[in-house]
Amino acid sequence: MAETRKKTTQSKGKKAPARQPRTKELKIGELDEYLFGMGTHYDIYKKLGAHLTKRRGKEGVYFAVWAPNAKSVSVVGDFNGWDTKKNEMEHLGGIGFWAVFVPGAKLGQLYKFYIVTKNGQELYKADPFANASEFRPGTASKIVDISGFKWSDGDWMEKRVNKNPDEEPMTIYEVHPGSWKKHPATEENPDGFYNYREFAHALTDYVKDMGYTHVELMGIAEHPFDGSWGYQVTGYYAPTSRYGSPLDFKYLVNYLHKNKIGVILDWVPAHFPRDAHGLAEFDGTCCYEYADPRKGEHPDWGTKVFDFGKNEVKNFLIANALYWIEEFHVDGLRVDAVASILYLDYGRRDGEWVPNIYGGNKNLEAIEFFKHLNSVVLGRNHGALMIAEESTAWPKVTGKPEDDGLGFSMKWNMGWMHDFLEYMKLDPYFRQYNHHNMTFAMTYAYAEKYILVLSHDEVVHLKCSMINKMPGLYDDKFANLKAGYSFMLGHPGKKLLFMGQDFAQFQEWSEARELDWYLLAEEKHQKMQNYVRALLTLYRKNKALFDSDQVGEGFEWINADDNTRSIFSFVRHSKDGKNNLLFVINFTPVARPDYRVGVPRRKQYKLILNSDEEQYGGYGTPQPEVYKAVKSECDGRPYSFAYHLPPYGVAVFKF
C-alpha cells in the first residue's frame, strides 16, 4: 500500500498553520450505539472516523468505523508502516462498531481500514467519516483537525436565523471551482487549481461585481474522478483535497459570508460509485446499499443506491447534511437527483425493479427519509435551505411533512427550464405557434416554491452553450439571449445561472479547462455581461421581483396571448403594492414603432431598463424616460400608453 502513495500537491495560496490541538479523551459508548441504531445520532461524525484524543496521558488518534459484517478490522497508515497486524480494532458490540486508539498517530498522516470479510476477502477501504482525503489519484484518508478555525461571520449567521427565504432575493451563481479559473500549469500544481482561499477572494470579487446573492458550489465532497463533476462521491465528510484543506474550505465560506454572499453545496444522497476504496460492499456485504440489485444499483449510471430502509444508513446521510451546515456554516444543500430516489422504477425497465408493499413504484423508505432529513436539518437551522432537484410532478415536494409533503425549502423548476429552452431555440417565425411554452409554467407556478434554473446540465454533452442555442446570426443570438434572460428574471421564482452564461460563453462547458474569460475583451460579450449585471441589480433593488414569489398576487399578465407578434407583457407587484414593475418583451426581430400596452393604473411609468441601450449591445435609439398612461383601452385595460419596441426589445417600467 505505502509504495502507491502520491504526495499531495496544492495550488499556491494561504495555508492554515499546522498545529497539534489540545485533546480530550474520546470513546464510543452504549448510547452512541443505541442512537445510531435508531438513526438519530445526528453528530455521529464526532465519534466515527479519526479524531485526535489521548489515553492514559498519551496523545494519538481514536479510529472508529461501522462495519457490521466484517470478520476483523485494523487501521493501517503512515503511523504503522501500513502493517495490517499492528493496530487491530476492537469489535464493540452488536451494532457493528470497531475502534482502536493509536498512540503517536499525527495530523496529516494517511490511513485506511483493512477489512477481512467473513469469506476471507481482504479489503482496503477509505474512512466513510474521514474529514479529508489524499490528493487524487491517491485514495487514502487523512488525519485532520477541523476544529481549529476562528469564524468571523457571526453577523451573517445571526441574520440568517431571522430570514424568511421565500421573501428574500436569491440569484444563484452555479460554480465548478476546478474550471472557473485556472493557474498556468506548473510541476507543483499541474492542474492549475485555485486553493480554496485564493478562490474565495477571486470568486467574491466577481460575484459582488455582478450582483449575485448566492453561489452554488459543485463537486466539494471528495470524489475520485474529475469527469463526474463531484456527483460520484467517495468522501461524504471530506471537502475535496483538490483545492486545499477543510480549514481552507471554512475560510472560503467565512469570506463569502463576510461579503454577504450565501453558500449552497451540491449534495448527492442518490447514489455512490463502485470504486474499490469507497462505500460499495464496504465490509464484504451490501452495508450502505440495498442488497437486491433491482433496488441497489442504477443501471444507467453503474452506481450503487443507498439503502433507505437501514437506520444506520439514513443516519450517515442526515448527519452528513448537518455536518456541512453546522460545521462549515453552509447556507443550504441542493439535493441531486431526488426523482431517482423517490421512484423504484427510475431508469429501470419492467422486471428490473421491485414494487413497494402496495404494488406501487414509490420508494416508501425514501419518502420517510426525506421527511426526516428536512425536518431535522431545517428544524435545527432556521434560515437554511434544502433544495430539491426533482424532475417530475411529484406532489408537495416543498410541502410540510405533517401535511404529507417532503419538507424541502425549494425545488428546481425543471418543467419551466425545458419549455423555456425549447421556445428559445426556435426560429422567431415559429415562436408564434409555440407561445404556450412561455406561459404554461404560470399554471402551476405556486404549486411549489420554485427556483428557475439554467444549470450546468444544459450546456454539456452536445446541448450547446446558452448563446449557441439561440437562433439567427451573430447579433441575433445576443439579442435573443438578452430577451430570454429578461423573461427569466421577470418570471416568479428564484434564479440560477451557471458560470459563463452571463457573458455568453460560446464553447460548451468542460471540467478540464477554465471558462473562456478572454471573450470579455470582445465588445458583444462585455455588453452581454453588462446587461446581466443590470438585470441582477434590477432584481436586488426591487422587492416586486422577490418578496411575493410564492403568492399569486405578485404576478399579473397584461397580455399572455399576443402570439402573432410573440410579445409578452406582465406586471410584478411587491407585497406592499408600492413597488411595481411592468415588463414588455419582444421575441422577434421585428420592430414595433408604436407598440401600445395596457396598464392597470392611470399613472406615470418610468423606463428603468431598456435592452436597446448601446452599453447592452443595442442600437441606442433615444427613448423618453417617462410615459403617462392615457384613457385608451388596450389589452382589456381602460388605460394604456405607446412605446417604441425595438427588435428583440426588452423594456421594464416602474410605477
CA distance 501 to 505: 6
What's the whole-number average pLDDT of the chain? Answer: 95
At residue 94, the pLDDT reads 85
Q: How far is residue 561 from each of residues 398, 492, 590, 593, 601, measured CA to CA in Å?
A: 30, 18, 18, 20, 21
- Averaged pLDDT, 409-416: 98
Pick the catalytic residue from 145, 222, 312, 336.
336
- Asked if the model's pLDDT at residue 13 lies above 80, the reply is no
- Averaged pLDDT, 645-654: 98
Q: Could you tell me the pTM of the whole model? A: 0.94
Does 59 qualify as catalytic in the annotation?
no
- Averaged pLDDT, 432-461: 97
CA distance 174 to 194: 17
Does 326 qualify as catalytic in the annotation?
no
Provide the 3-class DSSP secondary structure of residue 421: helix
CA distance 580 to 545: 9
Question: What count of other Cβ atoms lies within 10 Å of the Cβ of residue 380?
Answer: 12
At residue 11, the pLDDT reads 40
Assign 26 a pLDDT band (cuts: 50, 70, 90). confident
Pick the catalytic residue from 127, 297, 389, 458.
389
Provide the 3-class DSSP secondary structure of residue 115: strand
Assign 25 a pLDDT band (cuts: 50, 70, 90). confident
DSSP state, 323?
I
Q: pLDDT (tens digit, 9 = 90+) per residue, 623-640?
A: 999 999 999 999 999 999
| Closest CA relative to residue 122, chosen from 154, 74, 80, 177 | 74
Assign 93 a pLDDT band (cuts: 50, 70, 90). confident
At residue 17, the pLDDT reads 44
- Asked if the model's pLDDT at residue 568 lies above 90, the reply is yes
CA distance 109 to 553: 59
At residue 23, the pLDDT reads 54
Write the CB contacts of 496 (distance below 8 Å, at least 6 apart in sequence): 171, 172, 173, 174, 216, 412, 451, 452, 453, 454, 455
CA distance 51 to 64: 9
